[in-house]
Amino acid sequence: MPDWKWYPQFTGLVKDPEGKHYQKMGMAKWLFDFFCADADRKTGEWAGTLGNVAEWTGMPLWTVKRYMRVLKKEGYLTARRRANGVEVKIVKYKTLVMQEKGAPDMDDISKDDRTPLEKNSKSTLYIAGIEELQEYFRGVLKTAHLGNHDTYTLLQIYWDKVPFVIIKSTVEDLLSKAEAKRKNIFTVRYFKNAVYENHKKYTHRLEPEKELMPQEQVEKKEKFHRLAGRLAKEKKHDAEKSEEVV
């Protein structure tokens, strides 16, 4: 069972004033959510046994089988038996990850390739982990849940290594403006363009090395530069003297 932290699902399934999906699925949506969470991220396909599903979800096996019949009948899933279980496919599955050009592959999302400096929270080049980003924006948006588009945006920001200091300063700047105060901001995407604009403008100017260096090393570095500067001046002076003699 993959250890996914999130899964894609379109809001039309639950934002439905007519309640047509609710009427068709009922409590079977619990099983549908399981397949959305555990299916292959690119294809929407899942393979295993219904016994495994019962074990991982805490639902009785007979309930899992009943929900399977509902979801197949209403056209949400297709399923076929195979030698060691069942193969399930989500009929209208769409992966959010492949919607935008240059999106990271889901197999690589969980990899942490930050440098030691980017992992150091005291560094101005600190790249916050995805869970920390989620917590930060939950606080900003005053909501306990981030939608799929929000989660995808945060994945992109994390993948593109935007320093946390850039994100925070951008968000605080936007929220301080009168225009933002009049708006009800509910999505991370509201901040996205400004974050990337500031990322391009300011990231290369950040210099975290000195602030992270112990005072002893800072003094040694400054002493070295003073010595190097003095030697360079002496060398230049000696060269000028030799020219005068000639």
Instruction: Count up the domains in the chain and report the number.
Output: 3
Same domain (yes/no): 37, 114 = no
Give the per-residue pLDDT at 64: 92
Note whether 130 and 89 are within 8 A (CB): no
pLDDT for 212 beyond 60: yes
Q: What is the pLDDT of residues 5-21, one digit of tens each?
A: 667 677 778 888 888 88
Task: For 119-160, write each residue's pLDDT tens digit.
Answer: 888 888 899 988 899 889 988 887 766 776 788 888 888 888
Residues belonging to the chain: 246
77 neighbors 90 (Cβ within 8 angstroms): yes
Rg (CA), the chain: 28
Question: What range does the domain containing 47 cover?
Answer: 11-90
**Winning range, highest mean pLDDT, from 171-180, 199-208, 210-219, 227-236:** 199-208
Q: Distance of CA 18 to CAs 7, 13, 21, 73, Å?
A: 25, 11, 8, 20
Looking up residue 75, the CATH number of its domain turns out to be 1.10.10.10
**Which of 90, 123, 156 is at the close of a domain?**
90
Q: Return d(Cα 223, Cα 5) in angstroms, integer.
A: 49
- Distance CA(233)–CA(229), nearest Å, equals 6
pLDDT one-digit tens code per residue, 148-193: 678 888 888 888 889 999 999 999 988 888 565 666 777 888 899 9
Same domain, 118 and 199: yes
Domain assignment present for residue 1? The answer is no
Q: For residues 92-112, give the mean pLDDT.
A: 58
- CA–CA separation, 188 vs 224, rounded Å? 46
Residue 4 inside a domain? The answer is: no
Residue ending a domain, among 90, 114, 144, is 90
Residue 111 — very low, low, confident or very high, per pLDDT cuts 50/70/90? low
Tell me how far apart the terminal alpha carbons of the chain are, to the nearest angstrom: 83
> Do the beta carbons of residue 163 and residue 126 sit within 8 Å?
yes
